[in-house]
Amino acid sequence: MSAVIRHDWQLNEIEALFALPFNDLLFQAQQVHRQNFDANAVQVSTLLSIKTGACPEDCKYCPQSAHYRTDVDKERLMAVEKVLEEARAAKEQGASRFCMGAAWRNPKDRDMPYVIEMVKGVKELGLETCMTLGMLSPQQAQALKQAGLDYYNHNLDTSPEFYGEIISTRTYADRLSTLQNVRDAGMKVCAGGIVGMGESRRDRAGLLAQLANLPQHPESVPVNMLVKVQGTPFAELDDLDPFEFVRTIAVARILMPQSFVRLSAGRETMNDQLQALCFMAGANSIFYGERLLTTANPETNRDLALFERLGLKPLAHEDYSDDVHEAVISDAVAEQQQPVRYYEVS
């Protein structure tokens, strides 16, 4: 399987990859992965919600939307020093990238000075920086770049054809425009989507086609499994077949050979065996920590134990040496008070 960078994928080609026998698909994805990455290194990131709830958007999957009644508390923008405290703790636990998310349609001018100080402070700690703040104007993107922001996250969520079933307050073109503003400012792009929202396999192929056919592939591609939250319209949807999720990871790896493919939301419900299959399929990035914005995420110790069992290591940021990472992980594993937990295959 050649890891040629392409930007002209046809929908029928991508559907043909999804339709391959499972073992054949994973074999191809693993070949592509090994041509471009250390197969046993995983990028470790931490995500912090810096402003929670009361979002004016009506995304049907999101517990932070003001349109739905959920248990998410509405919180103001966090103080800069509090954000930096969280970033220091994340670095101490082995994170190489610190991501900050705000429940906004788009940042207001009055918020930008605080956001910029957060970026500068996290950069000074030697961490890669990432933010997701909603839509960005060209001027806002330039300001974040000048502050030192490395990545900006803005997901496409799903295919253009299924998008209208998810959200009505922002268009697909709005999302693509923000990605272009981020690129034009010189930042790296983090863009992916969510699966398990009732979409078809063709829609999953359509999402990946949109990402893979961008003029430049996103450097980071988060693949989220829907987290069903009571109070949202998607709370009662049927679960996606776990093997279909692994297929999505594998196809993303083949289409975007040099991008980090990240296991994001939904890992709390994934047993170790499913996550191991995802790593085999080409996933090489995770969020870790107890929370992922407003939903649960596997506990750090569980992630460290899984890394130990699979022989994986955290990928070092260029400003954060392998020796430091290995020492952090070794110390954390040694300090675990509970025995390794094993999970039955679901």
> What positions carry a catalytic annotation?
55, 59, 62, 99, 130, 190, 262
Contacts of 270 (CB under 8 A, 6+ apart): 225, 242, 263, 278
Contacts of 248 (CB under 8 A, 6+ apart): 18, 195, 204, 208, 223
Please check if 262 is assigned to a binding site. Answer: yes
Please check if 99 is assigned to a binding site. Answer: yes
Q: What is the DSSP string of 137-164?
A: -HHHHHHHHHHT--EEE---BS-TTTGG
For the record, the structure tokens of 137 come out as: 């104007």
Contacts of 37 (CB under 8 A, 6+ apart): 284
Crossing angle of helices 138-147 and 172-185, in 10° steps, is 40
Say if strands 188-190 and 285-287 run parallel, antiparallel, or are unpaired. Answer: unpaired
Please check if 278 is assigned to a binding site. Answer: no
Please check if 183 is assigned to a binding site. Answer: no
State the Cα angle at 107 between 101 and 110, rounded to 5°. Answer: 120
Please check if 62 is assigned to a binding site. Answer: yes
Tell me the CA distances in angstroms from 245 to 18, 63, 167, 197, 200, one per residue in order. 11, 22, 22, 12, 12
Pick the closest to residue 62 from 201, 196, 231, 213 (CA basis).
231
Specify binding-site residues for [2Fe-2S] cluster. Answer: 99, 130, 190, 262
Specify binding-site residues. Answer: 55, 59, 62, 99, 130, 190, 262
Specify binding-site residues for [4Fe-4S] cluster. Answer: 55, 59, 62
